[in-house]
Structure formats: C-alpha cells, structure tokens
Structure 1
Amino acid sequence: MVIPVHDVNPVRRTPWVTYALIAANVLVFLFMPGLAGSVAGDGSLAQQCHLHAFLDQYAAVPQELIHHRMPRLVPTGETAVGPQGPGCVVGPPGYDKSPELSVLTALFLHGGWLHLLGNMLFLLIFGNNVEDRMGHVRFALFYAVCGFAATYGFALLNAGSAEPLIGASGAIAGVLGAYLVLYPKARVWVLVPFLVFLPLRLPAWLVLGFWFGLQAVYSSGQGVSDAGTVAYAAHVAGFLAGMLLAWPLRPGTPPPPEPRGLLFGRRARPRHTW
C-alpha cells in the first residue's frame, strides 16, 4: 500500500469546503462519547455502551436504509448486570431516526484516530483540486452525493446487516474517482514501504488506480482478514460515482503543470523545444 503525501497540482482558489469538511470531521470526533475507549481500546463498559448507543442513533445501518424502519430494540447507553455478567442494556428506541439523514451524519463519524487521520489526509491532498475545478457549492453537493451513493451501494449488498456504518471513506472515494478522471497525469508524491519508507513521485492514474484495485479485491473478501469490518464495497461504489459525476467536466479541465526535478527517484532530463 502506498501513502500519498502531496500532489504536484496547484489550485487557483482556496479550498474552503475541503478545509471545512476536515475541521468538522475532527471536531465531531473529539466530541464523540466514549472517545477514550474508542481510541485506547480500554474504555470502561459504561463508555462503550454510551458509544454504541450514540452510533446506533447517528450511524447508517443497512437494515434501516433498505427496509426503512427502526429495530424494536436498540442500545440505551445504560449498563446492567445480568445472568451472563455486566453488559449494555437494550430497549425500545427513545428517539426518532431518519435513515436517509443518518447517511449524512455517518459521514462525520469515525472509529479511531487512524481511521480519521487517514481519511483526512486523502481529502486534503485530492479534495482541493476537485473543489477548485467544480467550485465550492458544486463540490459540497458532489461530496454529499458520493457519500449517499457509497452508503446505499454498500447497504444494497448487505441488506441484512445491523452493523453501524460510519466514516467519510465513501465520500472521499468519490473525490478520488473524480481526481482520476480530471487529473490522471498529475504527479503525486507517495511513501512506499520497502524496508524503509521510499519516497516516489508517481502519476495519479497509477496511485489511484492501484488504490481502487485493492478496494475491489478486498470488497470480495480476498487478500484481507478484516474484510468484515471495513466497508470496501462502499469505497468501490463511491469511487465509481465520483468518476461518473466528474466525467462531464473532463474536456474543460486544464492539465496539471509539467513536473520538474526528481521523477521515480531519478532527475528528469530537460526537454528541448524546436
């Protein structure tokens, strides 16, 4: 897996929506209940129960999205001691939940620091150029549409799942798909783990194409042990949605600047014009 750190593709305007999305994701994560348990993995039972109740209310649940109805019993956030020992209490939902709106709120929820920072890194590197091409308002709408496409795409393939679906990955996958369509030849600095982290500057079509290929393979359950905990199918659906939505903008997109200096670890030869 390669880790992108920077792209050689300057923007013409400040990507305010991208910055706002990053800030909102960080703030929501910091104020999520049970944060200590979700980060350190050793939170108290009360913290874990509170977090489960919070996610059940604000996360997207495939069963609810497909069947458009709430379950009869949900976590309440309380704890109790039963025959099997202490555990989380379940009961009738004490709130009204819109499954459609939960898709939007779930885009701002993350399960840990690595989940959050990884998503925000991809959004920062690739979102600014897509926003620059689309404009602020259209980019905000595009981001939301890709998030809905990713979430419902995953729900259709997992209609019986009651596991909460959280994270901005699906919407950000749409941003990556749009970047691939609009700037396939842009150069991206990446870190490749090979004994040490080796810095290389690669074309965007190679970096993003490789990323999408991995998501497609992982979504089938091949080559990864945690395929049941990561919504790879949502990444695939979001990426394809982003490509389709960005395709009409491709003809009028100016090409990225020609890179100079090191290329694939070697200095590029100067070009002469005649």
Structure 2
Amino acid sequence: MIPIKDVNPSRTFPIVNLSIIVACSLIWLYEWSLTDEVIYTFQGAVTKFELFLREWGLVPVELPQKPYTLLTHMFLHGSWGHIIGNMWFLWVFGDNVEDKLGKFRYIIFYILCGLGAALTQTFISLAFGGANVPMVGASGAISGVLGAYMKMFPHARVLALVPVFIFLTLMELPAVIFIGLWFFIQIINGIITLPFIGYGGVAWYAHIGGFITGYLLVDYFRKRSYS
C-alpha cells in the first residue's frame, strides 16, 4: 500500500519534519557519490559506499564498540527506493505528529522511536542471526511516527494506492485501517523472513519495534494544551 496524502491539515509549518527529510536526502546523495569508488582490500574489491555503511550503519555485533551508530544509522539509506519510500511516508504522516507534539518534543520522540527500533532489531539479529549485517534507514523511527499518528488521528482519512488482485486502486481509508494493515504486514513479513535474517534484507523487526515504541510513548510527548 502506498499513501498519496492524508486528509488532515497541519496547523503549523513542519520545520523539524522537513529538516529530517532534507538531512537524510543530502546524506543519501553523498552516499550515492561513493558507489563508483572501489577500494581493494585483502577480502577483495569493495566500494567506498559499502565501507561507509559498515562504519556508520548499525552492526549488532559491533554495537559495544560503536554506540554512536544507534543514532547515525537512522540517517543512512541503502538505495534510491529506500530513501524515497521512507521520506515519502515521513512527509505524509510526520507533519501532523510534529504539530501535535511541538518542535522540540517531536525530534526527541523521533530519535527515541529510532532507538527502540534499533534495539529491537539488534536483539532479534543477535538471537537469530544477522549480527554482522549493517542496519541502515529511517524506517524504524518513521514507524514510530506511524504508531503515534494512528493513536492520535485514528479517523483521519488516508488516500492510498491499494492492491486489489493485480491492480492498484485509489482508496480513502481511515488511518487506523491503513496503518493497522501496514503494521500487520510488518509482523507477517517478520515471521516469514526470520529464518533468513542473516542474509540481510528489510529490517522488519525495526519497523515493529519502532511502531510499538511510538504508539506507547506518544501520550507522554503530547503538548498539554492539546489534551
């Protein structure tokens, strides 16, 4: 399912949300510039892009030596599809959450969701394999934003492209349905791919952990005047 827009006007300009999008986009452009630069090591040829992800992405087994990657991994991405998909979801849903929480609370909330996502995926990777696979992406933090959105705006309408058999159909769904289905898909994919977690791929458990973190924390971050 692909959200097109939500029918839920924001009352303030989402400067923090937009800043996160710009920061992630600029960092991705730098990453992309490294994809053609090859370095030869004892293990063979490797691109500077891969080395960059290895250094600043979250590698579970290396976390005690690189605790800073709990933060830096949230601003890295692995492909054009990865960055575009993440930033689009953040653009659609993040402005209303920022509006509801306030600027400062929103950035703290966003980071805490990313941390919750990272720790969930790290635990799963250490327990079931994948401890040496770098994790990058804002999707864990953004999943927390989705959890907050669903809790605060369950009846807001979301215009989305929804697969119906082999076709994509435009449908307007309540946020609780759209995001609820999205979360259900994350759980199913997490269960199905658990035996293959050591081969990399989508960090489904980061999505799950981030969503739950955001859903549970958002009430503590809401501005009192909006209660």
Q: Identify the TM-score tier after normalising by the shorter chain.
A: 0.7 to 0.9
1:53 corresponding residue in structure 2: 51
Q: SS where residue 100 of structure 1 aligns?
A: coil
2:34–2:48 Cα contact (<8 Å) kept: no
Retained in 1: the 8 A contact 2:53–2:134? yes
Whichever of the two has the greater Rg, that structure is 1
Determine whether 1:215 maps to 2:179. Answer: no
Contact 1:59 1:165 in 2 (8 A): yes
Aligned residues: 217
Greater shift in the superposed pair: 228-237 or 49-58: 49-58
The answer to whether the 8 A contact 1:218-1:232 is kept is: yes
Task: Encode CA deviations 1:170-219: one digit per residue, 9 max, x unaligned.
Answer: 00000000001100010000012334431110000000000000101111
Structure with the larger helix share: 2
Aligned to 1:184: 154
Whole-angstrom CA distance in 1 between matches of 2:153 and 2:34: 38
CA, structure 1 residues 245+116, in 2 after alignment: closer, same or farther (shift >3 Å)?
same
Gaps of 5+ in 1: 38-42, 70-98, 255-274
Identity rate of aligned residues, in percent?
39
Alignment CA distance shift 1:240-1:252 (3 Å): farther
1:233 is aligned with what amino acid? Y
Q: Between 214-223 and 196-205, report the one with greater CA deviation.
A: 214-223
Q: Which residue in the other structure is 2:4 paired with?
A: 5
* CA–CA separation in structure 1 for the residues paired with 2:32 and 2:218: 37
Summarize deviations over 1:47-94 as a string: whole Å, max 9, x none: 8432221111111111122xx13xxxxxxxxxxxxxxxxxxxxxxxxx
Specify the code of the residue in structure 2 equivalent to 1:178.
A
Give the aligned residue type for 2:163. P
Partner of 1:113: 80
Does 2:19 match 1:20? Answer: yes
- TM-score of the superposed pair, with normalisation by structure 1: 0.73
Kindly indicate whether the alpha-carbon contact (under 8 Å) linking 2:97 and 2:149 is maintained by their aligned counterparts in 1. yes
Matches for 1:255-274 after TM superposition, within 5 Å: none
Report if the CA contact (8 A) 1:34-1:50 is conserved. no
State whether residues 3 and 159 of structure 2, in contact with CA within 8 Å, keep that contact through their aligned partners in structure 1: yes
Quick check: 27-36 or 3-12, which moved more? 27-36
Q: Is the CA contact (8 Å cut-off) linking 1:174 and 1:238 kept in structure 2?
A: yes
Cα deviation, 1:216-268, whole Å, max 9, x if unaligned, reads 111112599888411100100000000011134499758xxxxxxxxxxxxxx
Which of 156, 168, 175 is matched with 2:123 structurally? Answer: 156
Specify whether residues 222 and 31 from structure 1 end up closer, same or farther in structure 2 by C-alpha distance, changes over 3 A only.
closer
The answer as to whether partners of 1:33 and 1:54 remain within 8 angstroms in 2 is no
CA distance in 1, matches of 2:88, 2:34: 21
Instruction: Please say which of residues 194-203 and 126-135 is displaced more in the overlay.
Output: 194-203
Q: What secondary structure, in the 3-state scheme, does the structure 1 residue paired with 2:118 have?
A: helix
Q: Name the CA shift for 1:187/1:230 in 2 (closer, same or farther; >3 Å).
A: same
What pairs up with 1:1-274 in 2 under 5 angstroms? 2-32=1-31, 35-36=34-35, 48-65=46-63, 68-69=64-65, 99-159=66-126, 161-194=131-164, 195-221=166-192, 228-248=200-220, 249=222
Secondary structure of the 1:55 match is helix
- Contact 2:189–2:204 (CA under 8 A) maintained in structure 1: yes
Q: Which residue of 2 aligns with 1:93?
A: none
In the alignment, is the contact (CA less than 8 A) between 1:146 and 1:238 conserved in 2? yes
Higher relative contact order (CA 8 A, sep 6+): 2
Partner Cα separation in structure 1 for residue 203 and residue 190 of structure 2: 7
Secondary structure in 2 matching 1:185? coil
* 1:126 counterpart SS class: helix
Q: Secondary structure at the match of 2:78?
A: coil
